[in-house]
Structure 1
Amino acid sequence: MAGYSTTEMKEVLERLNDWERDIDPLAPLTSLQKESIEELMSIVAFRLLPSEVNSERISPLEPEYELQKERNNSEVMCLNSALVNFQVEETVETSQQFLSLVDNIEERILKDDDEAMKLYIDQLCTSNMECSSLLDEITTSLEELESLQKLYIFVSDKTNTLHEACEQLLTDQATLVNCAEVIKEKLSYFNELETLSQKLNSPTLSVVSESFVPMLARLDDCIAYLKANPQYKESETYLARFKRLLAQALGMIQSYVMANLQQTTQQILARKDTLSPNDNAFTLLYGKFRARGPRIRALMEQIEERVEKNSEYQQLLEDCHQCYFTQRELLLGPGVSTAITNLAEKHQRDHCALMRSGCAFLVHLSEDEHQLYQHFFSRPSQELNTFLERLCQRLYDVLRTIIIHVNHLETLTELCTILKVEMLEEFVQNDPKQLEAFANVAQQMLEDVQERLAYRTHIYIRTDILNYHPAPGDLAYPEKLEMMQNIAESLAQKPLSRSSSRSSLGSTTSAPACVSRESKNREESIAVMSVSASEQVMETTMSQSASELNPSVPVKGRTVLYSPADLHGMWYPTVRRTLVCLSKLYRCLEKTIFQGLSQEVLSMCIQSLVSASQSIAKNKTSLDAHLFLIKHLLILREQISPFQIDFVIKETVLDFSRIKSAAFGLLHKKSKLFSLNSNNALLEFLLEGTPQVMENLVDSKKAVDNQLKIICEEFIANTVEMLIGQLLIFLNKAKVILEVGEKEATRQVVLKNQPWASPEKVSELVNEAYKHLKNKLPNLANSMSLYLANRDTEHILFRPIRNRVQSAFEQLLQLVRTNYSEDEQLIIGCPSTDQISLLLSSAIIR
């Protein structure tokens, strides 16, 4: 490697390394060659150089020599096998021969390598010359290509510049075209002024022509555009001109519509005066208007669609509405007034018929007017309801003067029923939109009738219920009950047909009217009229009349006995009037108003019953008075139960009791009237003397129950006193004596020594009390059966009476046993508890 520089040496080493690189080697070896090289390398690793070999110095006896010898032999064998690959025919026996052979081989190899390299160098030189020539040609070509590329770039730049200029010109052209179109479009709104002005001023233009509506739409577009773009020059001037054109167009529409409506009205009025009775007024009043409707409706639809865009359209629509309703009122007003006046004259004595026919007339009129309105306009208007209310108000004006003079509750309730049920609930609910105006007037009339009804009810309650003066027949108890019972028993003995039973029932029901001698037609009508809430109960009672007349008629699986007092015709007149009044008011008045009136009428009815019972007690007995009051209170409580309302009302009152206390305090503190501290008497009076607002809940049903409870307790106490009054007096006296005797420890001696407590006197008292009880019990049972005719009620009332009577006899028996000897007890002969219980039980078993 001598003669090479360091750089060249590195290049040579790098090239040699490239021969055996792992990736893309320059001189790749086969697998066989690689194996051969590995074998040679393994052998060479243990080969001794010739200079290091000295066979004379190696002793054959040494182990190392033997080892080395074996190693050399193996190497020789390996070399022989390797020499075979190099086609060496000589045989190597010693190391010296091997080394000589290797030297020869190396020389041969080097010689062969040099020849090949020389040939390769020659080829490289030739190739180098050819490459240099080719490189020169390539350089020349590249220079020419570079010159050509410069020319291409120059031409390309020029072409691109031209294209860009063309594109910019096209863009500018498109922008200018768009600007021209936008300017043209914007100018079109301004240019339309002249065109539209000429069309509107044309003498042949008509609002019903086909070109009028598009012209109106174009006017709206121009006005809207100018309003949206006030920044344009002269936009305000053009906007004002367009608005004048729009006002001119709308004036043409208004003139056309008003002229048609007024012309139609004049034609109808001219013909209306000559209208014969055989002609149809409906055709005259509605036919001609409907004929003019389609053309006007087409214009009104255009106006109604533009109402929200411009206030001028709204004003035009209102003017058209006003003209339309003015013309309609001019036609219908006198006719409606005349019709209502004729109805009032026709039904002068029948207010209900007047109300019904007048309301029916207005209902049909409202429906016809709504239908006619829809022939001219498509959108609803509040002015239509105002117009119809003015027409309906004519009936209200006539009926109000009549309503405020009606005194009969029947008429007022019937008027309420007509307005509330027939008109508002039936007609108005079926068509609430068309009858809205009529509903408002009907509701106003209903409120007036209800106000009048409430006022007349207050008067009726005081005059006919509270201040009712009963006739002798009204207080003929128990005579008329016994009379009715005898009639029922006589009718029950012979079978009756259904028709005869009904006729008997009618006569029975009307009998109390004769007995009570009520001559007023109004009271007679109240007695027989049907009721609403209590009507079902009354009708049930009426349907059970056959059972009432025949005591053996089975009802719901058992035999029930009815009292003649259960017939509503036998009720005390104030009870009957109260229930009928409540039934009528229940359908007609509001809930809150009815609650207040019901509380008042029930209170007045109870007072009238108490007054009647007091009169009966004076003329007959307290037993009849109590049973009369108990029976009617039971009827009253039963009949008000079907009313599905709460009879509780709230009363607000002022409590002035604090004013009295504060006034006394002020008098006692005169010295502190003008005191400047917190003890100022005048200030305390103002603060403490303020009336206090108190709210009280009044329950009518509880009032009836409380009154019933009070009268039942009085009945029980009076009945016990009637049955065993003397016995109770004796027990009270004995109790006093015994209490005194207990203090003096002379208990038995004191009671016997009393003249009224001797055994003979006590025996006489016991016999009389037992006989009196035995005689009175049947009468008591008959009276209770006659008035109440209800075993459950009778048992409930008789139970405390029986308990008190038994308790009294038990006290007597205990008193006799503890204060008298056996012989004296035999003289007295006091009945046992079982005897008294048997006597009381047998009295109520029927």
Structure 2
Amino acid sequence: MAAVYESLASCLGQRFIILVFFALQFFSWFLKLQTQMDQGERAKHMKTRDHLNCYQEQCDAILNDVNAALEHLDSLQKQYLFVSNKTGTLHEACEQLLKEQSELVDLAESIQQKLSYINELENINRFILALSLRKLNSPTLSVNSEGFIPMLWKLDDCIEYVSSHPNFKDYPVYLTKFKQCLSKAMHFMKTHTVNTMQNLTGQLTKRDPLGLANADNAFTLCHVKFRAAAPKVRTLIEQIEQRSERIPEYHQLLEEIHQCYLDQREQLLRPGITATITDLTSQNYKDHCALVRSGCAFMVHVCQDEHRLYAEFFSKPTPRLHGLLEKLCLSLYDVLRPFIIHVIHLETLSELCGILNNEMLDDHVHNNTGQLGAFDAGGREEDVQERLVYRTHIYIQTDIIGNNPAPGDLAYPEQLEMMEKIAQSLKEEQIKLMAHESSFSDVQLEYPEGRRASRIDSSRLQPSISPADLHGMWYPTVRRTLVCLSKLYRCIDRAVFQGLSQEALSGCIHSLLKASDVILKNKTQVDGQLFLIKHLLIMREQIAPFHTDFAIKEISLDLKRTRDAAFKMMNPKSVPSFFRLNSHNAILEFLLEGSPEIKEHYIDSKKDVDRHLKFSCEQFIQQQNQLSVGNLDEFLTKVSALKTTVIQGGPTYGLSQQPWAQPAKINDIVMATYRVMKSKLPSTLQSMSLYLANRDAEFILFKPVRNNIQQVFQRLHTLIQEEYSGEDLQIIACPSMDQMNLLLSVNK
């Protein structure tokens, strides 16, 4: 091993020496190379330094030149600022001079403008003076000239301007002068307008003073003349109307012109209207409706014509026209009122209300309230209504509540039977006439089979009018009540109609009850009941179309508390001890507790009709039930009472052991009931058909009776099937339910 190590060490030492040798050679080469590189770079840096030094010298020269230039620029800037300041000062001085010049010009214009309103005073005075003197006979100096209206505008502007500057030196003086000019101009306008209207009136009255009121063309001539003169003053009136809202003087002038116009119209119209109404009164002296209709139509035309004529002169309305037309309409009312207050017939009064309400107010006034408002105010339709209400009260008291029926009015059912015979005879004659016409068919034009059959069938199928449905066959109070309500319904106010209808229906019901009692005593109970039911049905059917309530509110004073408090005060024993100390306490209690009560309650006549109808029908049904199966129902009631006694612990013997429940006794009751039904029901149904004449009403009224009969016999069948044997059933011989249904169906 040692030899090996030594050989290795020798080998490694040789290699190390070789490496060191090569490294020394490398470092020497590198040092040489580095020295060469340093020398080459230094030469470049030196050259560069020389160049930079040259550049530095050039920059120093340039910098010196720049400094010299800056010094020159500073000198120039100082000189520029000096010149600029001088120039700005001069410019400001010029602007100030221009501004002062503009202010002086504006001041001069303002002074000139203010003086222009003052200077116009002389022109306006000259124009007005020329109008007042009228030296030249030329239309250019009249109020209708072209220069008058511009002068008015200038005058308005001057007054408005001076009024808005009270700080002027001579403000009161100039305002007074302008006002004087305005007063003179308005005087000219008023004089021209009033003279034009008065001249028209003078021409119309001078033409024929008496004939103007009687001639047929008087109103036409009057309107034509005024309409032709309207353009002469319309322009001036328009100027006045335009200024009337902002200038009080013009408003007063317009009022005076309105009054003048209306005075002239009244002076012309009143005689003609009076004469026309007098002629209408003489022509329709006995026909009040024709008089009211023609008079109202005449006044409607007068109102419409006057409104149209007023629109020719003026563009703004005035309440004075309404007052004039209302005054003229009152002249018609003054003539009609004496006739109206003497009318006693409800038909005439209701027709008068219809004329005023429907023909005049609804058809004319309500569609043109602007022109016919005065007619509405002067028509006084309320007076006719008041007269109608008054006469209706009297009519209800005398002809409905105080009705004294004649023997013929209570002749029931004779009236209906007579009318039925007459209707039957007319029907037979009609059938004979049809048969007679068919026998001559060979000489007439032949119709196709279908058409001839349709003619015959249609004539045969026409329903005949029952006597009970005829208006003339109604009881007089019913007929009068319904006619009265039909006349009042569209003539008077709803509230008044409700009160009158309640009074009329209550009186009518009371009269029907009295008549029913009389018929019930003189004839039969069925006649009395069916008479009442028939007329109550008529009333309910006839008042149904009235779309109003038949109810009124009544206020009553309840003195029950006052009575009780008085009894307590008069009876000391009933008063508590602390109230019995002295009399003053009792009086105090009376004052505190004894105040009367005010109660309100409603009376509805329509419900009263329904209530009486319901009660009458129930009474009729109850009476028919008692008449038909009353005995049998009493027997079944006794049976029910016997069963109740047994259940509560009474004797236990059976129903067949009772003397009153023997089969023979039951047979007597059943046979008697069956005979009564067989004999009475047909006559009752015939009376129902005669009185009611309505299949539906007859069926509804008889249905509870039929149902009750069926129920009673059904209960009887159930009872005898449970309590009696076969032999007893044969003895009882109760009709079967099929037999009863057959009997009731035949009589239905």
- TM-score of the superposition, structure 1-length normalised? 0.74
1:568 to 451, 471, 496: 471
1:735 CA displacement: 8.2
Q: Match for 2:121: what amino acid?
A: L
Q: Does 1:796 align with 2:705?
A: no
Aligned to 1:840: 744
1:378-432 CA distances to partner (integer Å, 9 max, x unpaired)? 1122221111111111112222222222111101110111111111111123322
Give the 5 Å matches for 1:282-431.
Answer: 282-431=219-368
1:683-730 CA distances to partner (integer Å, 9 max, x unpaired)? 433333333222223222221111011111221222334445666677
1:686 to 558, 581, 591: 591
2:426 to 476, 479, 491: 491
Aligned to 1:254: 190
Aligned to 1:626: 529
Q: Match for 2:290: what amino acid?
A: A
Q: Does 1:612 align with 2:515?
A: yes
Q: Which runs of 5+ in 1 are unaligned?
A: 1-59, 76-93, 500-549
**2:233/2:313 contact within 8 Å kept:** yes
1:341 CA displacement: 2.5
1:241-296 CA distances to partner (integer Å, 9 max, x unpaired)? 32222222212212222222222212212223253866721233112212221121
Q: Match for 1:387: what amino acid?
A: L
- Secondary structure of 1:468's counterpart equals coil
Give the 5 Å matches for 1:200-279.
Answer: 200-202=128-130, 203-204=133-134, 205-273=141-209, 275=211
**1:389/1:438 contact within 8 Å kept:** yes
2:675 to 771, 774, 777: 771
**2:333/2:378 contact within 8 Å kept:** yes
Distance 2:460 2:596 in 1: 63
Distance 1:619 1:710 in 2: 22
Q: Match for 1:336: what amino acid?
A: I
Q: Does 1:184 align with 2:112?
A: yes
1:223 CA displacement: 1.9
Aligned to 1:159: 87
Distance 1:213 1:418 in 2: 51
For the pair shown, the structure with the greater C-alpha radius of gyration is 1
More off after superposition, 296-305 vs 445-454: 445-454
1:723-768 CA distances to partner (integer Å, 9 max, x unpaired)? 456666777788889999995777769952x7xx887676555544
Distance 1:765 1:308 in 2: 102
Distance 2:178 2:475 in 1: 86
Q: Match for 1:271: what amino acid?
A: R
1:467-494 CA distances to partner (integer Å, 9 max, x unpaired)? 2222222222212212222222233234
Q: Does 1:198 align with 2:126?
A: yes
- Secondary structure of 1:209's counterpart equals coil
Distance 2:459 2:44 in 1: 161
Aligned to 1:601: 504
Residue 101 and residue 257 in structure 1: after superposition, are their counterparts in 2 closer, same or farther (change >3 A)? closer
Q: Does 1:720 align with 2:601?
A: no
1:225 CA displacement: 1.7
2:392 to 435, 443, 457: 457
Distance 1:676 1:198 in 2: 103
**1:606/1:704 contact within 8 Å kept:** yes
- Secondary structure of 1:380's counterpart equals coil
Residue 403 and residue 131 in structure 1: after superposition, are their counterparts in 2 closer, same or farther (change >3 A)? same
More off after superposition, 685-694 vs 697-706: 685-694
More off after superposition, 729-738 vs 831-840: 729-738
Distance 1:610 1:625 in 2: 9
Aligned to 2:383: 448
**1:610/1:629 contact within 8 Å kept:** yes
Residue 233 and residue 482 in structure 1: after superposition, are their counterparts in 2 closer, same or farther (change >3 A)? same
Q: Which runs of 5+ in 2 are unaligned?
A: 1-11, 135-140, 435-456
**1:562/1:789 contact within 8 Å kept:** no
1:103-135 CA distances to partner (integer Å, 9 max, x unpaired)? 6886798789879978997x689x67x976x88
1:321 CA displacement: 0.7
- Secondary structure of 2:534's counterpart equals helix
Q: Match for 1:349: what amino acid?
A: K
Structure that is richer in helix per residue: 2
Aligned to 1:582: 485
- Secondary structure of 1:681's counterpart equals helix
**1:301/1:378 contact within 8 Å kept:** yes
Distance 2:722 2:45 in 1: 171
More off after superposition, 199-208 vs 287-296: 199-208
**2:353/2:381 contact within 8 Å kept:** yes
Aligned to 1:475: 410
- Secondary structure of 1:695's counterpart equals strand
Residue 163 and residue 684 in structure 1: after superposition, are their counterparts in 2 closer, same or farther (change >3 A)? same
- Secondary structure of 2:369's counterpart equals coil
Aligned to 1:530: none
Residue 66 and residue 645 in structure 1: after superposition, are their counterparts in 2 closer, same or farther (change >3 A)? farther
1:536-567 CA distances to partner (integer Å, 9 max, x unpaired)? xxxxxxxxxxxxxx999547xxxx77631012
Q: Match for 2:109: what amino acid?
A: E
Residue 70 and residue 719 in structure 1: after superposition, are their counterparts in 2 closer, same or farther (change >3 A)? same
1:631-688 CA distances to partner (integer Å, 9 max, x unpaired)? 1111111111122223333333332222212222332458999999999433433333
Aligned to 1:783: 687
Q: Match for 1:664: what amino acid?
A: F
**2:533/2:616 contact within 8 Å kept:** yes
Distance 1:64 1:675 in 2: 159
Q: Match for 2:185: what amino acid?
A: A
Residue 352 and residue 118 in structure 1: after superposition, are their counterparts in 2 closer, same or farther (change >3 A)? closer
Q: Match for 2:428: what amino acid?
A: Q
Distance 2:651 2:74 in 1: 164
Q: Does 1:436 align with 2:373?
A: yes
1:173 CA displacement: 0.5
- Secondary structure of 1:201's counterpart equals helix
1:358 CA displacement: 0.7
- Secondary structure of 2:370's counterpart equals coil
Residue 243 and residue 751 in structure 1: after superposition, are their counterparts in 2 closer, same or farther (change >3 A)? same
Aligned to 1:533: none
Residue 286 and residue 758 in structure 1: after superposition, are their counterparts in 2 closer, same or farther (change >3 A)? same
Distance 2:315 2:377 in 1: 23
**1:781/1:843 contact within 8 Å kept:** yes
1:466 to 390, 394, 401: 401
Residue 817 and residue 245 in structure 1: after superposition, are their counterparts in 2 closer, same or farther (change >3 A)? same
Q: Match for 1:632: what amino acid?
A: H
Give the CA RMSD over aligned residues. 3.9
**1:563/1:788 contact within 8 Å kept:** no
Distance 2:591 2:466 in 1: 62
1:815 CA displacement: 7.7
**1:551/1:561 contact within 8 Å kept:** no
- Secondary structure of 2:91's counterpart equals helix
1:807 CA displacement: 5.0
Q: Match for 1:194: what amino acid?
A: E
Q: Match for 1:633: what amino acid?
A: L
**2:128/2:181 contact within 8 Å kept:** yes
Query: Percent of aligned pairs with the same residue?
Result: 50
Distance 2:602 2:45 in 1: 141
1:370 CA displacement: 0.8
Residue 71 and residue 723 in structure 1: after superposition, are their counterparts in 2 closer, same or farther (change >3 A)? same
